Chains A and B, each alone.
Chain A
Amino acid sequence: RKEVEQDPGPFNVPEGATVAFNCTYSNSASQSFFWYRQDCRKEPKLLMSVYSSGNEDGRFTAQLNRASQYISLLIRDSKLSDSATYLCVVNMNTGFQKLVFGTGTRLLVSP
């Protein structure tokens, strides 16, 4: 089983749609979680951290389910500019801190 798994997509949605991505992780001792956004041929940039109680930033909502070992990202009212690859990043505690990246989920928002 991969340490961090994501559906690669692509998810094709029209503008204004709501879309959700899930990400599962294998290490139950993982301590912190992030969603990063990566545009084509660019470096990843932090979209938001994921807190235990869930958190929201504008149109973006992140949630953590420790019991089932997954995190989710919900995007409401999708914009064309949301088209990108969304990377799930897990800070695993394997005796030392290690950030593990998922393969990313590609989102394509069309007019």
Chain B
Amino acid sequence: GAVVSQHPSWVICKSGTSVKIECRSLDFQATTMFWYRQFPKQSLMLMATSNEGSKATYEQGVEKDKFLINHASLTLSTLTVTSAHPEDSSFYICSARVGGNAGELFFGEGSRLTVL
């Protein structure tokens, strides 16, 4: 089946620094990727939809200048958390859909960010 790989799987950083998370589709091309955030015991919340070659679409309440998304190729999307603060500590997961709007969603392994 389709594989989505995410890196790094966990990262610890100091407050004020920026962190980049990569999401790759390994055996298929993904014109659209999705970035989610999940806090403990809560559901996955869609942060933004990443579109290859164009600007990402952000969900309401998500700061586009803080969470920079770049989708420069059909197999790679990146999420950069800029000037991270402790409240940004969370589980960030990317996904890509195979087979159109009703297709299966494949998730990356997730990246656990801890901001000290």
B102, A44: Cβ atoms under 8 Å?
A: no
- Give residues in A with beta carbon < 8 Å to B: 4, 8, 31-32, 34, 36, 41-46, 49, 87, 89, 91, 97-104
Q: Which residue of B lies closest to A8 (CB)?
A: B41
A31, B107: Cβ atoms under 8 Å?
A: no
B74 to chain A, nearest CB (A): 19
Query: Which residues of A are found within 8 Å of B109, using beta-carbon distances?
Result: 42-43
A41, B43: Cβ atoms under 8 Å?
A: no
Q: How many interface contacts (CB-CB < 8 Å) are there between A and B?
A: 48
- Give residues in B with beta carbon < 8 Å to A: 34, 36, 41-46, 91, 93, 101-102, 104-110, 112
A32 to chain B, nearest CB (A): 5
Q: Which residue of B lies closest to A33 (CB)?
A: B102
Q: Is the interface of B mostly helix, strand, loop or mixed?
A: strand
A44, B101: Cβ atoms under 8 Å?
A: no
CA distance A104 to B106 in the complex (A): 18
Query: Which residues of B are found within 8 Å of A46, using beta-carbon distances?
Result: 104-106
CA distance A102 to B42 in the complex (A): 9
Q: Which residue of A lies closest to B93 (CB)?
A: A43
CA distance A91 to B104 in the complex (A): 11
Q: Which residue of A lies closest to B10 (CB)?
A: A41
A103, B43: Cβ atoms under 8 Å?
A: yes
Query: Which residues of A are found within 8 Å of B110, using beta-carbon distances?
Result: 41-43
Option from B44, B102, B106, B112 in Cβ contact (under 8 Å) with A91: B102
CA distance A91 to B43 in the complex (A): 15
- Say whether, besides A32-B102, A91-B102, A97-B101, A44 and B107 are in contact (CB < 8 Å): yes
Query: Which residues of B are found within 8 Å of A42, using beta-carbon distances?
Result: 109-110
